[in-house]
Structure 1
Amino acid sequence: MTAVLILGGTGWLSGHVARGWIAAGAEVTCLARGGRPAPEGATLVEADRAEPGAYDVVAQRDWDEVVDISSDAGHVASACAALAARAAHWTYVSTLSVYAESDVEGADESAALLEPARPDDEYDYGRAKVAAEASVREALGERAAIVRPGLIVGPGDPSDRFGYWVARFAAAADGPVLVPETQGRSAQVIDVRDLADFVVEVGRHRWTGIANAIGDSVPLGDLLADARAAAGHTGDLRHADDEWLQAHDVRFWMGPRSLPLWLPADMNGFSTRTNAVYRGAGGGLRPLTDTLRDTLADERERGLDRERRSGLTREEELAVIAELP
């Protein structure tokens, strides 16, 4: 039986990966701090990766596959030091945020990276992932796969970005919805279930290399139109350009008072990276309309009017709309 160690396994993406390996018949162990259960069928080893000896229990045996998704470069380095000699194959889930430039369309895995984070630097997500990748490559060499997803979406998304649009269109019903300038803008996402399937397949076949794990680039306007159709919205779309929205404290991409997925015009390379390696290695992509449908069902279950980590509240949105010329 394939022995799989997942460093994590109780969160959103890592939980999907754990369940995927269990479905494939593997013996799955999740190393996590506790507080959340491991998926049914997995063994949970409670450990804090910031503490000495965190890997002592799992370092006592060999593993066919180790999966790590951490964005803490120190945690990744310590895991590699403790477990590299015990792992036949290692999959590290990194991010497209490792790339230094976001203005070149169609860039591939050879694009320049950010400078790796140093231990005493202020935390930077992209630079931390670059440092973590370096630790994996140094420790595992040709036994490692580095998977670089972009925006991960789908049911259960804790970031509240992608789901904002179907939830807002559904909640607005026949009322107005504020939308950003979409001309020349793109979006590029990957369903968490497709990403997890790929991580499992990479481990099963011991694939090595680097892959941008992301869906096809689509015009942002098309994505919003599909979200609107999925939600059955019949109200008006109220458009505003970048300058006007920024002047009214509406933010790009994510977080409070944002219009999620909307990016500055000079960052179009961020959402147009090639996924040829991912596809060539067997990565699948379900139709975006299916992801929107399933995300809407999840948003309805969690509450269309719940407090969100990203987006405008309905009250904020209507106040901004009221100021449109």
Structure 2
Amino acid sequence: MKKILVTGGTTFVSKYVAEYFVNAGYEVFVLNRNSKPQVQGVTLIEADRHNLGDILKATAFDAVADITAYTDKDIIDLVKALGSFKQYIMISSSAVYPEYGVQPFTEESERAENKFWGAYGTNKIAAEKALLERVKDAYIVRPPYLYGPMNNVYREAFVFDCALADRKFYLPKDGSMKLQFFHVKDLCRLMEVIIKDKPEEHILNVGNVETVSIKDWVTKCYKSLGKTPNFVDVYEEIEQKNYFSFYNYEYYLDVSRQRKIYPETISLEDGLKDSAKWYLEHSTEVNKKPYFEYIDENLAED
């Protein structure tokens, strides 16, 4: 039985990863501060990643799945504390690419501050650099917007709430802005391919090949609940993040490297059905934002 260390393990991606690898037959260790319920079947290592001492030295891990590395210090402290391990996979982000860069972004595209993501993106750049300086054969995965069950970010859940309440949907402009997604199960399956096959390429953009307009995405979200949206186009010059789940920023990752090792991804329709099913039973686990209040006060028609 392979041993895998998952950093985090209690929220969205890291929680899903922990549960996925338990179900896949791995011996899963999770590193967190035990402030939230743990996934059934994991072995908890209760600690702060910045104050580990020798707690990790005694266990030889086949893989480290670092889901919660956001800064170079996160990497430096964890790698220093590890004993033996065979592979290290870091989940980075498409936020490492600046908004002005030539698209689609490839793994060799310039990395620099993105005005929409700010320090989050530049800290991820620093974390990648720190990792490759210490673990030269590490794998770095750069996803676009992740979605699926356990998503505590108010994205598809906001649209589900609109659909469930039969509200009009206030759409930025004509809704043609494109988004790129990747289901969290696809992320796990890809990680399993990396662990088993050790692919030649170590830095990977990942995501669905196809982008989707926000209008089509909202329509698919409604459809997953058996609903049809009634759109109101918003052309006012206001920050769309006040009433919509995404920044006014369109980008596209080239995922050719991923396709060589993991060619088939979950369709957006099936993925959103999966998300909706989970949300209907776990709506209180999502960090909701006051989009409805803003819409009702500033956009709603009489």
- Report if TM-score (shorter chain) is over 0.5: yes
The structure 2 residue matched to 1:211, chosen from 204, 207, 212, is 204
Identity, % of aligned positions: 24
State the Cα distance separating 1:9 from its structure 2 match: 2.2
Write the deviation string for residues 52-92 of structure 1: whole angstroms up to 9, x where unpaired. xx151212232211111221321211112232x62211101
Residue 39 of structure 2 corresponds to which residue in structure 1?
A: 39
Structure 2 gap segments, 5+ residues each = none
Give, in whole Å, the separation in 1 of the partners of 2:13 and 2:286: 22
Residue 259 of structure 1 corresponds to which residue in structure 2?
A: 244
Give, in whole Å, the separation in 1 of the partners of 2:32 and 2:266: 30
Relative to the length of structure 1, the TM-score reads: 0.82
Give, in whole Å, the separation in 1 of the partners of 2:286 and 2:89: 34
State the Cα distance separating 1:178 from its structure 2 match: 1.4
Q: Residue 50 of structure 2 contacts residue 78 of structure 2 at CA under 8 Å; is this kept in 1?
A: no
Residue 96 of structure 1 corresponds to which residue in structure 2?
A: 94
Change (3 A) 1:7 1:299: closer
- Stretches of 4+ aligned residues off by more than 4 angstroms: none
The structure 1 residue matched to 2:131, chosen from 119, 128, 136, is 136
Counting only pairs closer than 5 Å after superposition, residues 67-146 of structure 1 correspond to structure 2 as 67-69=65-67, 70-83=69-82, 86-102=84-100, 104-114=102-112, 124-142=119-137, 144-146=138-140
Give, in whole Å, the separation in 1 of the partners of 2:80 and 2:286: 41
3-state SS, counterpart of residue 238 of structure 1: strand
Q: Residue 198 of structure 1 contacts residue 283 of structure 1 at CA under 8 Å; is this kept in 2?
A: no
Residue 170 of structure 2 corresponds to which residue in structure 1?
A: 178
Write the deviation string for residues 160-204 of structure 1: whole angstroms up to 9, x where unpaired. 1122123212212xx422111245410111111211222232223
Q: Residue 4 of structure 2 contacts residue 28 of structure 2 at CA under 8 Å; is this kept in 1?
A: yes
Change (3 A) 1:42 1:176: closer
Residue 223 of structure 1 corresponds to which residue in structure 2?
A: 217
State the Cα distance separating 1:128 from its structure 2 match: 1.0
Change (3 A) 1:110 1:88: same
Amino acid in structure 1 at the alignment position of 2:13: L
Give, in whole Å, the separation in 1 of the partners of 2:286 and 2:4: 36
Relative to the length of structure 2, the TM-score reads: 0.87
Q: Residue 186 of structure 1 contacts residue 218 of structure 1 at CA under 8 Å; is this kept in 2?
A: yes
Give, in whole Å, the separation in 1 of the partners of 2:75 and 2:219: 40
State the Cα distance separating 1:206 from its structure 2 match: 2.8
State the Cα distance separating 1:104 from its structure 2 match: 2.9
State the Cα distance separating 1:239 from its structure 2 match: 0.9
Change (3 A) 1:300 1:317: farther
Residue 288 of structure 2 corresponds to which residue in structure 1?
A: 309
Give, in whole Å, the separation in 2 of the partners of 1:40 and 1:191: 22
Equivalent residues, number: 296
User: CA-atom RMSD, angstroms?
Assistant: 2.6
Give, in whole Å, the separation in 2 of the partners of 1:274 and 1:234: 32
Amino acid in structure 2 at the alignment position of 1:95: S
